[in-house]
Structure 1
Amino acid sequence: MVKQIKRVGLILISALILAASVNLFMSPHHVAAGGASGLGVIIEYALNIDRSITVLIFNVIVLVLAALFLGKEYFFNTLIGAIAFPLFLGLLPEYMVVSDRFLSIIIGSIGWAIGVSILYNIQASIGGTTIPPLILEKYFHISPSIGLLVSDAIVVCLSLYIFGVESFFFALISIAITSVVMTYLETGMNRKKAIIIVTSMEPSEFRQKMDAITVQTLVMFTVQSGEENKQDTMKLIVASDKEYPALKQAINQIDPQAFVMAYNVSEVSDLGLTYHPSDI
């Protein structure tokens, strides 16, 4: 029961954040960055129909489609958000919090990304244009990302006709900002580097020299060398971006001929690699 109450609370908070992003930052500057809310803003300005009514009608339709084609579980995961979002859109008045258009779009896009990321994290939704792509994926094997792209493109193109070229490009910028922020929220802000080292040195000698330089966890794996019937030891180290230059210099001092490869990772656990930043 406590878990369900917490989940409902997060859905309501997300719906409020999303409604605030639209009514306080995006819509006052005539920016409709895709989705049912963007469609609602366009219809309101074109036909004088309240955006909350448009979104609610659209959500009722997609809820019926979700129940018919995606099952009861997805229907109930979407129900609360699909009702709460248009409700908050109707209750929260449109007000221009930030007069600078570009700054307002940035804030609104970040807010939208935060709200959607919270919903994704608890496997919930506010309905809108997210449901039709899932139906297309299930029955026609069309990627949801393509379906979402097409639906957002239709709304953005409509905004070009209603609001003009400048608003059209601001809508594209908003979509790009939202995508970048959501990527960082989903994969983690505390990025790290995984460093792979292959040397011909004895594992014990290499570990001893590395331990004298750094406190990072060093994990070793036996790998097959390019030479026939020869095995080497691959070393794996996880470090922060700040620590990477010093580690790179240390490895070069220990073995200038070592093969070194580094790449970004967002989460590390187990196998002795759970990340604890050092003070170097």
Structure 2
Amino acid sequence: MKITRRQVIEYLQITVGTAITASGINGFYAPNHIADGGVSGIGIILQYLLHVPIWLTLAVINLPLLWLSHRLWGGRVGVRTLVGTVLLSVWVGVLHWHPFSHNVLLAAIYGGMLSGVGLGLVFRARGTTGGTDVVARFFSHIFPISMGQAMMVIDFFVIAGFGVTFDPTKAMYSLIALFISSRAIDVVQEGTDFARAFTIITAHPNDVASRIMLEIGRGVTRMGGRGAYTGEARSMLYVVVLRSEVTRVKSLVYEVDPDAFVVVANVHEVIGEGFRSPPVEE
């Protein structure tokens, strides 16, 4: 089987990502008894209570969960998931960092950043590190809740375990770490240079669209609409631009039609011509 350049890059991303996540666990989380939930949080609790190495907990919990996923729902467990799961356990066992900080707040902030950046790289490479998502999926099949809600419940109980095992303050710091980690994952996967999407309702759609395409060089989609109150047919224009182009678009629209109705929305990721290239195999 031919290995493409993209596949090599993705496996490198998984390797680096799991190493970064392990650094956050060993350098910030474990020494300060905080975590952002999940299996790593269970590992830190067991290390404190029973002196079980965190890497062993990760392996003992994650690998059976992957087998359970295969047995319950069928399908082949992805190679990237196996690689990510094994590498995280290996890195946590190998990278024995001296604690980067004993300040619990700094540990929550920087541990969350490292964990999120590392997991974001793994997810961006189409991999995972196992974890409680399998348990969440199982509960979502039994109870009328979504995967996201199930994950929140699981993380809640893990972080509540920190409050019982250590003290409530550590649980509150763990919530900070969970929030920061989640945001870091989003930034790594979606990028920081967020675009803006314009929805423009105007009486002069042809003129507005022509000027946007000619002067800014962005494609415009025209859609039909009808006002619910007046019953009049109106045209809507949809265009996605960079943040640096927002002011130009607004000025251009109102030069053509001072009565135009404009909605500007945040867009976290844009794939296509003029933005990010599609994720296709090389």
TM-score for both structures, normalised by structure 2:
0.82
Query: Which deviations, in whole Å up to 9, do the C-alpha atoms of 1:160-205 show, x marking residues without a partner?
Result: 122212211110001111112222333332211122222223724x
Query: How far is the alpha carbon of 1:134 from its aligned partner?
Result: 2.4
Quick one: which amino acid aligns to residue 45 of structure 2?
Answer: I
Gaps of 5+ in 1: none
1:20 equivalent in alignment to 2:23: yes
Of 28-37 and 242-251, more deviation after overlay is shown by 242-251
CA–CA distance in 2 between the matches of 1:225 and 1:97?
Answer: 60
1:233 counterpart residue number: 235
Query: How far is the alpha carbon of 1:92 from its aligned partner?
Result: 1.6
2:52 counterpart residue number: 49
Query: How far is the alpha carbon of 1:207 from its aligned partner?
Result: 5.0
CA–CA distance in 1 between the matches of 2:180 and 2:241?
Answer: 28
Quick one: which amino acid aligns to residue 274 of structure 2?
Answer: T
1:265 counterpart residue number: 267
CA–CA distance in 2 between the matches of 1:225 and 1:147?
Answer: 41
Quick one: which amino acid aligns to residue 216 of structure 2?
Answer: V
Alignment of 1:1-280 (within 5 A): 1-3=2-4, 6-74=9-77, 76-137=79-140, 142-201=145-204, 203-204=206-207, 206=208, 214-217=215-218, 219=220, 221-226=222-227, 231-268=233-270, 274-275=274-275
> Are the equivalent residues in 1 in contact too, given 2:209–2:220 (CA < 8 A)?
no
Larger radius of gyration: 1
Three-state SS of the structure 1 residue aligned to 2:216 is coil
> Are the equivalent residues in 1 in contact too, given 2:121–2:189 (CA < 8 A)?
no
Three-state SS of the structure 2 residue aligned to 1:128 is coil
CA–CA distance in 1 between the matches of 2:205 and 2:52?
Answer: 74
CA–CA distance in 1 between the matches of 2:15 and 2:94?
Answer: 13
Figure out how many residues of one structure are paired with residues of the other and give that number. 271
> Are the equivalent residues in 2 in contact too, given 1:192–1:264 (CA < 8 A)?
yes
CA–CA distance in 2 between the matches of 1:64 and 1:211?
Answer: 53
CA–CA distance in 2 between the matches of 1:2 and 1:210?
Answer: 42
Query: How far is the alpha carbon of 1:39 from its aligned partner?
Result: 0.8
**1:38/1:241 Cα in 2 relative to 1: closer, same or farther (>3 Å)?**
same
> Are the equivalent residues in 1 in contact too, given 2:10–2:125 (CA < 8 A)?
yes
Query: How far is the alpha carbon of 1:97 from its aligned partner?
Result: 1.6
CA–CA distance in 1 between the matches of 2:23 and 2:244?
Answer: 37
Of 113-122 and 237-246, more deviation after overlay is shown by 237-246
Quick one: which amino acid aligns to residue 120 of structure 2?
Answer: S
**1:194/1:68 Cα in 2 relative to 1: closer, same or farther (>3 Å)?**
same
Query: How far is the alpha carbon of 1:83 from its aligned partner?
Result: 2.4
**1:217/1:32 Cα in 2 relative to 1: closer, same or farther (>3 Å)?**
closer
Query: Which deviations, in whole Å up to 9, do the C-alpha atoms of 1:4-53 show, x marking residues without a partner?
Result: 55544433322222211100121122212211111111111112222222
> Are the equivalent residues in 2 in contact too, given 1:238–1:275 (CA < 8 A)?
no
> Are the equivalent residues in 1 in contact too, given 2:65–2:130 (CA < 8 A)?
yes
Query: How far is the alpha carbon of 1:269 from its aligned partner?
Result: 5.0
CA–CA distance in 2 between the matches of 1:84 and 1:106?
Answer: 24
CA–CA distance in 2 between the matches of 1:45 and 1:71?
Answer: 36
What is the RMSD computed on CA atoms of the aligned residues? 2.8
TM-score for both structures, normalised by structure 1:
0.83
> Are the equivalent residues in 2 in contact too, given 1:63–1:75 (CA < 8 A)?
no
Three-state SS of the structure 2 residue aligned to 1:174 is helix
Query: How far is the alpha carbon of 1:77 from its aligned partner?
Result: 4.4
Which stretches of structure 1, 4 residues or more, deviate above 6 A after TM superposition? none
> Are the equivalent residues in 2 in contact too, given 1:66–1:75 (CA < 8 A)?
no
